[in-house]
Amino acid sequence: MNDQNTAPKEPSHSHETLLAAGWELLDTGAFIELVGNVYVKQDGEDIRYGFISGQKHQNRRGVLHGGVLAAFADRALAMAGRRVNDDMPQATIELSLRFIDAVQIGEFVESTQEVVRKTRSVIFVRGTLMVGPRVIATADGIWKILTPRQSK
């Protein structure tokens, strides 16, 4: 992975430019709020999620910490599962990430996701995290569909 620490450049994305480009602010709630603003954009059946990497996300090398990408991937892939799950509660059983390239502070990270399979009890999802056309990570995971009793 290329983790060269380059001086932070002026972000090419801001809250205002994302809203102007058709992105909407997602009401995230709970833990994922620690990532900051998460955006959603729907083009037909295609739904993408994204966030702007910030200073609070950097690791000791000055690039985005992998844990932030893991938390974001978990949320984005889980949201894809919920779309095919009638918004029923679910829990992550497994999440696997492959880090491919570093994210510089100020860059906008987007995810695309695909439900691979849904059974009565689990959902399999895979996704790609990108900065523009550059793939920075791939992920796949399994989510357990919870019954109302299990979700309490």
Domain boundaries, the chain: 15-145
The chain-wide mean pLDDT, for the chain, equals 88
pLDDT at 3 over 60: no
Pick the CATH number of 15-145 from 3.30.70.100, 3.30.360.10, 3.10.129.10, 3.20.20.10: 3.10.129.10
pLDDT at 30 over 50: yes
- Supply 80's token pair: 């894809």
pLDDT at 111 over 80: yes
DSSP symbol at 37: -
Sheet containing strand 46-52, strands side by side: 24-25, 39-43, 46-52, 108-118, 122-131, 134-145, 90-99
pTM of the predicted protein model:
0.85
pLDDT at 96 over 50: yes
The residues with which 113 forms a beta bridge, in sequence order, are 127
pLDDT tens profile 10-21: 456 787 888 788
Q: Residue 108: pLDDT band by 50, 70, 90 thresholds? A: very high
CA distance 22 to 41: 7
